[in-house]
Amino acid sequence: MLLGLDISTTGAKAILIDTAGDVVRTSTHAYPLSTPKPLWSEQDPEDWWQAAQQSIQEVIKRSNINAKNISGIGLTGQMHGLVPLNQHEEVLRPAILWNDQRTSSACDILVEKVGLSKLIEITGNPAMTGFTAPKLIWVKENEPEIYRKIKHILLPKDYIRLKLSGVQATDCADASGTSFFDITSRKWSPTILKSLEIDPDWLPAVFEGTQITSTISPQGAQATGLAPGTPIVGGGGDQAAQAVGVGAVETGIIAITLGTSGVIFAPTGHPQIDPQGRYHAMCHSLSPEKDQGWHLMGVMLSAAGSLRWFRDTFAADDDYTNLIEPIREIPPGSEGLIFLPYLTGERSPYPDPFARGSFIGLTIRHNRAHLTRSVLEGVAFGLRDILSLLRETGLKNISQIRISGGGARSRIWRQILSDVLNVEIVTVNTTEGACYGAALLAGVGTGTWDSTQQACRAVVKTISTTNPNRINVPIYDSFYQDYHALYPKLKDSFQSLTTKSS
């Protein structure tokens, strides 16, 4: 048996799988999110730990197994969060999360001290409000009494590792989202730490996602019901573990997560960094000696979130099926109606917090079905923007896209995506996401499989395939050119409208 544990933004999820990859039991326990000020997002790490204990205890109890039969544990979770600890490994303040936006001035300080080109060259990413380093700078600037007490810094899932094992450790994939990490050497960057005057001893040891980092301590065993000595592997941040969970561990197999946000994840055999920082370049959860050790990732902020907004605003009494079904009667391109899905700003390929959503081309002929279809098409065009950018870096051989997330359940939306991207799109049998990927990483680390590729080939199977409609592909090519031209023309207006309404 293998255990995966996911410390997400909403709850702690435990999954137990057998060595054939079949899910035996899952359990999730939720915890609250705190927003003490506008743009702030925090959680109490103790809430994570309590929920993790409950989820682990429940999967063991309801599976009716001996905990000694669990051969390995993999961890995953929300990335970028700052968990500051004192010399006694006690939490000094609530964790500042990935979606916290208080750190814009801290990003400026980071760029000033390191230099933008050097920062991108080392970390694969520009300074971003969600990443860990700006959060630490913010604490230094605004909570100096707390900053003086810091002796250790952990990421969310790694705080749970500490509680389980008494060991401070992280993995290369999660470390890549901190702005402290050199993704090429796969080590903490001395250059950045020196520039920010950060003691290297504050940071945990770094492992590959399949390496054993620690084992369950007697205290961890007593709290959870796990057996003392059970190995814990490095695991990975949620996006890397999600990619493992759907089998995106080989060149040419790309993962799209169509959730509230939209993520394109492409494994690579070497770091491919965009000098302009228009996408994320990070380490994968895979060993570079055996597998694809790095990945490229583009993120659009409002993917299925755009459809949810549209439904909640214009069709609150309808379910998604009733909303989407009528669009079958609307031709590709929605008769000249284009939707820009920048409802919460944008990240890739336009890192612009001022970008706004828009319907362009409205006429009296357009009805609700036209608007609905244009929303689905606009999200697909946004994902094509990201995929086109990744292809510019040399990502040429895309054999298959594996799609997951709530939006992937719509057959119509999958067809639109296949037509717009002009590539085969498949769904797979594994639906437990990052938590499942963490369990597979544990299996590789403890010898169930020789590599992550072998694990995914053994357990991840295609269950549906959507191929491009050759008639629709050129139609969408034409409308995409119009879509792609709109953001540069509207960028200044977006910023002006934001300034006037703030």
- Please give the positions annotated as active site: 238
Q: Which residues contact 14 (CB under 8 A, 6 or more apart)?
A: 3, 4, 5, 6, 26, 27, 28, 52, 55, 56, 58, 59, 435
**Percentages of the chain per state (helix, strand, coil), in multiples of 5:** 40, 20, 35
Which conformational region is residue 197 in: left (phi greater than 0), alpha (psi within -120 to 50 degrees), or beta? left
Instruction: Please report which residue ranges of 128-248 form alpha helices under DSSP H.
Output: 132-142, 144-147, 156-165, 172-175, 190-195, 218-224, 238-246
8 A C-beta contact, residue 402 and residue 429: no
> What 3-state DSSP class applies to 267?
strand
Task: Indicate the burial class of 313 (C-beta count within 10 angstroms; 0-12, 13-18, 19 or more).
Answer: exposed
Amino acid at 53: Q
Q: Which of 434, 437, 383 is nearest to 79 (CA)?
A: 434
Compute how many other C-beta atoms are within 10 angstroms of the C-beta atom of residue 466. Answer: 20
| DSSP run (H or E) holding 459 | helix 452-459
Both tokens assigned to 377? 């098409």
CA dist list (Å): 490 to 321, 342, 484: 33, 12, 11
8 A C-beta contact, residue 419 and residue 468: yes
Q: Which of 161, 224, 169, 156 is nearest to 8 (CA)?
A: 156
Q: Which residues contact 102 (CB under 8 A, 6 or more apart)?
A: 37, 39, 40, 96, 129, 138
Q: Identify the sign of the CA torsion 80, 84, 90, 95.
A: negative
Q: Which residues contact 482 (CB under 8 A, 6 or more apart)?
A: 338
User: Using alpha carbons only, how large is the chain's radius of gyration in Å?
Assistant: 22
Q: Identify the sign of the CA torsion 92, 93, 96, 97.
A: positive
Amino acid at 184: T
Which conformational region is residue 133 in: left (phi greater than 0), alpha (psi within -120 to 50 degrees), or beta? alpha
Which conformational region is residue 50 in: left (phi greater than 0), alpha (psi within -120 to 50 degrees), or beta? alpha
Backbone angles phi, psi at 253, to 5 degrees: -100, 115
